Amino acid sequence: MRRKVTVVGAGNVGANTAQKIAAKELADVVLVDVVDGVPQGKGLDMLESAPVEGYDVRIVGTNGYDETADSDIVVITAGFPRKPGMSRDDLLLANYEVVKSATEQAAKKSPNAILILVTNPLDAMCWTAMKVSGFKREKVIGMAGVLDTARFRTFIAEELNVSFENVTAMVLGGHGDTMVPLVRFTNVSGIPLSELTDQATIDRMVQRTRDGGAEIVKYLKTGSAYYAPAASTVEMVESILKDKKKVLPCAVSLDGEYGIKGLFVGVPVKLGKDGVEKIYEIKLDDSEKAALKKSADAVQELVTVLQQKTS
């Protein structure tokens, strides 16, 4: 049986995600959007690229969810993007309604799917999707840590003038200003980052990572990042569909791990055919624990707002 991935939201992130899934021949793709004609046009355009690019997958665009039935994975990118001066948290209530509706319809058609959330504010949208779908925590995963880690690795490689491939890093916590780049676990081909540059430079790279999304929003003015978020999402999709069991930092619902319960927070997990197959609880020092708790507290604030709204 052919694999199927539904991508909800045919904007820049969704369209790029759909195109990358097709180009890698990971699955047939259904592109869903509420705007009439947009998913149909973009889907057809991607399909017409197939003879040139050399991929054999089916791509269809639609405004409904009938075509999404029995999807293996549903990626939700739909929502309002950030604009200059806005935080991810400013999007909370507007995108809650978008994600709630998309999750309800997608889960009804694909009750066995794995949900990957991309919409901001990411951690709160994951909480929304799990609440609405009723899916087990292994089946609801947020894309944030992969992107934040990619940004951290990029800045390190640029600063040290080394290959991106040689930089190993991990960013934990919520997808926001309180994210936690783990400097102690960061290295270049096994050489600790602390041996390659000074603390001031490390602090600057950490801050740039936290501001990574805002930096792009500032340049674009009318939207937010989409190439790197799409690439990060597809790495997760590929690990699941190919059962690669990659260990990636993803937002998952914690049930006591790291002393956190009932919140989606970015931590290292193993991604395979069943979704989240293992949560790795690494030993953090006191400062890292404090930073992760601060990040979780920020997520809790958003969830509390949603709980009050939906109670």
Angle formed by the axes of helices 12-23 and 38-53, nearest 10°:
30
Query: Which residue numbers are catalytic?
Result: 175
Cα atoms found within 13 Å of the Cα of residue 206, Cβ hemisphere only: 21
Distance, CA of 142 to CA of 138 (rounded, Å): 11
For the chain, report the end-to-end CA distance as a whole number of angstroms: 41
Distances (CA, A) of 221 to 81, 118, 213, 216, 224: 11, 20, 12, 8, 8
